[in-house]
Amino acid sequence: MTRLISILLLLAASLAFAGDSAALVQSAPTEAAGNHLHVYRWLRRATLAGACVSGTVLDTWALHRLASYSDVRLSGPFISNGKPEYGQLIGLFAGSCALSAFMQERHVFASRETRGLDLTYTLENVASMGVSLWATDRFLTLANQAAAEGRTQPGTLAAVEPGR
């Protein structure tokens, strides 16, 4: 899991800096004043992409892996008869990503783009990615427990039905 996170972070960083590598080296001071936000903008976009991928793809995959064990019965929102409603989950995650992208690109809460605004959105995206990766890790831990022990610990999102 750590290796996957490292690869995703390296990929996101390389994409962020590859798109606007010309903005890092400027020949004239007037151009540097107009393009100083490119680095922050692409860093914000890369963290948004990482948060969307980790939230939509990795969380859904980990939940599917956990739900694939017949002894595990899930409960909570978007769960029907102990199994996840994947269409609703993916729709919710994709909709929140689209809303975040719209709000961040259109600068809904500000009249213009600033370095502070981009850094605030970047921090928000990193926090969202962290929560999502924590949930993915938790689902995979529960799936590994279900595979190894045939039961889960009390107080988790999953419960093992006795006799199966």
Indicate the pTM of the whole model.
0.67
Q: What is the dihedral of CA 140, 132, 3, 74, to 10 degrees?
A: 10
The pLDDT value recorded for residue 75 is 84
* Cα distances (angstroms) measured from residue 99 to each of 52, 73, 87, 114, 132: 11, 32, 18, 20, 17
The pLDDT value recorded for residue 149 is 66
Q: Roughly what angle, to the nearest 10 degrees, separates helices 86-106 and 38-53?
A: 170
pLDDT per residue of the chain (164 residues) written in tens, 0 to 9: 666 666 655 655 554 454 444 444 444 444 554 477 889 999 999 999 999 999 999 999 999 999 988 878 888 888 888 889 999 999 999 999 999 999 999 988 888 888 989 999 999 999 999 999 999 999 999 988 888 765 545 445 555 555 54
The pLDDT value recorded for residue 70 is 81
The pLDDT value recorded for residue 62 is 93
**3-state class of 138 per DSSP?**
helix
Q: Which residue has the tokens 């996170």?
A: 5
The pLDDT value recorded for residue 111 is 84
Angle at 142 between CA 138 and CA 144, to 5 degrees: 115
The pLDDT value recorded for residue 135 is 93
